[in-house]
Structure 1
Amino acid sequence: MTWDQLSINQPHLSFMILGGFTSLFMLCSSFFKDQLYTNEATFGTLCGIAFGPHGANVINPMSWGNIEQLTLEFSRVVLVIQCFTVGVELPIRYVEKHWKGLLFLLIPVMSFGWLLTSLIIWWMLPSLSWLDSLCISACVTATDPVLANSLVGKGKFSEKVPKRLRDLLSAESGANDGLAFPFIYLALFLLEYRSNTGKAVLDWFLLIVMYECVFGCIYGFTIGYIARQGIKLAEKHNLIDRQSFLVFYFVLALFCAGSARNGGVTCVGCDGLAPQSNLLFLFRDDNSVGKFQQ
């Protein structure tokens, strides 16, 4: 008979594996990143496979409830934090100064990559229709800011990449996660309204392009601007301490992700750009509070 005090349930096992893997990886993080040119995402995936239902079956997320909803929400949290961080860490007024190169990557290059990937998938899986392939390719077209961190983050490998390219890749990886929505939903709408292409295109333009993307950008930029003014006011009257200041962008990203629903990723990306010109040096300065000059 097992002593009740030693019993471990699924949440405890999950915390143990997550904390243990993270601790061990951090001890050797420099070796993995600088010598093996890889990051935590690869080893995190391998760890999940090893302990998951297809490996040792120590933890089984399938038993936690609606696994699709859990995966979606966990992914949203990771992405919104990364996208906001990209917006904050870019050089001051970067998008304003380099919008042409960024726009070229986001529209023609991304569109070409989407179409080319769909053709490869269609060729590899001939049982699928081309619309099915377009839908799948849209899911892999966007550059994940988490994975792009191996190129744009700190390390011996990333230092060999020119800073102008690192900034461009960082901005593109943060923006294209939200802008991948039009590619995904265009294929989905065309699949749903096969007999009425006009309705599919109209719904796609109004609901996805205008509402999800354009309105999401405006909403996120507005929230970011209001937050920037709020921090300036709080700093002016000495109402905010350093600990609260450093975690402010994290909770603001979560607020935008929740309030904007499906357009949360686009919203958070613009939210990070709005306060960028003033918050950039503050997040990098250990003595930031008390130095808000503008």
Structure 2
Amino acid sequence: MAWDHLSINRPHLAYIILGGFTSLFMLVSLFVKEKLYIGEATVATICGVIFGPYAANLFDPNSWGNVDQITLECSRIVLVVQCFAVGVELPKAYMTRHWKSVVYLLIPVMTFGWLVVSVFIWWLIKPLSWLDSLCIAACVTATDPVLASSVVGKGKFAKRIPKHLRDLLSAESGCNDGMAFPFIYLAIYLIHYRPNAGEVFYHWFVFTVLYECVFGAVFGCCVGYAGRRLIKWAEAKNIIDRESFLVFYFTLALFCAGAGSILGKS
């Protein structure tokens, strides 16, 4: 009869696995990253494969609802928080002083990488057309700020990289997630509207470049500037406590994620 009191379901197993894995990994994180040369993203992926539906099947995210929507929103939160962290960690006025280096990495280097990767995908996966390969390549062209943290963050690997290169990689990894949208939508519009070049250019330039990228950047700058002024004002008036001060940027990142999604600026 004692077993009747147990409440075992899939979400509870997910909590156990998530909490247990995170706790155990924290205990050996330095050894794994600096002795085994394995990043936390790789270890987390292996853990998910082991306990997920294709191995132990202890929990199945596919049964939780719309898998695409869940994946999209989880990825959105992780990326927006990490990108916000990059902005906070960069030196003051970094983008105004080093914008040429960042632009060089974002436009010519990123475009070249996109084209090269698309050719490899087209060559390896025969059923795909080159336009399909361009669309897939755009998804993997951007440098993920989470994965880049192993190089630009703390640890012995980061110490061997000059400070100016770490800052440049951080800035580039934070910016290029948004810069990947022109590549993705250019391929999508070419697939959807070809051979009408006018429709392709109109939708790509107006909706993607001007609205999502340019307006999105301006919106982000306005929110960041307003947040900085407000936090300084609150600190000067001594009306904000230490805990709220530390978590303010995280909540502001969530606000940006929600506002950007509502406005159609991913």
TM-score (norm 2): 0.97
Partner amino acid for 1:116? V
- Is the 1:37–1:157 Cα contact (8 Å) retained in structure 2? no
Matches within 5 A, 1:210-229: 210-229=210-229
Identify the residue that residue 14 of structure 1 maps to in structure 2.
14
Matches within 5 A, 1:115-126: 115-126=115-126
Partner amino acid for 1:260? G
Q: Relative to structure 2, which stretch is displaced further, 188-197 or 87-96?
A: 188-197
Distance in structure 2 (CA, Å) of the matches to 1:105 and 1:2:
62
Partner amino acid for 1:146? V
Matches within 5 A, 1:107-186: 107-186=107-186
Q: What's the CA shift for 1:243?
A: 0.2
The CA RMSD measured in Å over matched residues stands at 1.1
Q: Could you list the per-position Cα deviations for residues 242-292 of structure 1 after superposition, in whole angstroms to 9, with x for gaps in the alignment?
A: 00000000000000110011424xxxxxxxxxxxxxxxxxxxxxxxxxxxx
- Is the 1:38–1:150 Cα contact (8 Å) retained in structure 2? no
The reply to whether residue 69 of structure 1 matches residue 74 of structure 2 is: no
Distance in structure 2 (CA, Å) of the matches to 1:134 and 1:99:
27
Q: Could you list the per-position Cα deviations for residues 176-204 of structure 1 after superposition, in whole angstroms to 9, with x for gaps in the alignment?
A: 01111111111011111123221012101
Q: What's the CA shift for 1:3?
A: 2.1
Identify the residue that residue 36 of structure 1 maps to in structure 2.
36
3-state SS of paired residue (2:145): coil
The reply to whether residue 50 of structure 1 matches residue 54 of structure 2 is: no
Distance in structure 1 (CA, Å) of the matches to 2:63 and 2:94:
45
Partner amino acid for 1:122? W
Identify the residue that residue 93 of structure 1 maps to in structure 2.
93
Distance in structure 1 (CA, Å) of the matches to 2:201 and 2:55:
44
Distance in structure 1 (CA, Å) of the matches to 2:91 and 2:34:
25
Q: What's the CA shift for 1:19?
A: 0.5
Q: Where does the alignment leave 5 or more consecutive residues of structure 2 unmatched? A: none
Partner amino acid for 2:196? N
Identify the residue that residue 191 of structure 2 maps to in structure 1.
191
Q: What's the CA shift for 1:126?
A: 1.6
Partner amino acid for 1:35? K
Distance in structure 1 (CA, Å) of the matches to 2:44 and 2:4:
31
Distance in structure 2 (CA, Å) of the matches to 1:234 and 1:35:
44
Q: Give the length in aligned residue pairs.
A: 264
Partner amino acid for 1:217? A
Distance in structure 2 (CA, Å) of the matches to 1:180 and 1:89:
22
Distance in structure 2 (CA, Å) of the matches to 1:18 and 1:160:
32
Q: What's the CA shift for 1:2?
A: 7.3
The reply to whether residue 80 of structure 1 matches residue 80 of structure 2 is: yes
Q: Could you list the per-position Cα deviations for residues 217-260 of structure 1 after superposition, in whole angstroms to 9, with x for gaps in the alignment?
A: 10110011111111121112111000000000000000011001
Q: What's the CA shift for 1:35?
A: 1.2
Distance in structure 1 (CA, Å) of the matches to 2:46 and 2:2:
31
Q: What's the CA shift for 1:58?
A: 0.5
- Is the 1:37–1:150 Cα contact (8 Å) retained in structure 2? no
Would the alpha carbon gap of residues 130 and 232 (structure 1) be closer, same or farther in structure 2, given more than 3 Å must change? Answer: same
Distance in structure 2 (CA, Å) of the matches to 1:180 and 1:209:
11
Identify the residue that residue 288 of structure 1 maps to in structure 2.
none
TM-score (norm 1): 0.88
Partner amino acid for 2:57? N
Distance in structure 1 (CA, Å) of the matches to 2:220 and 2:120:
35
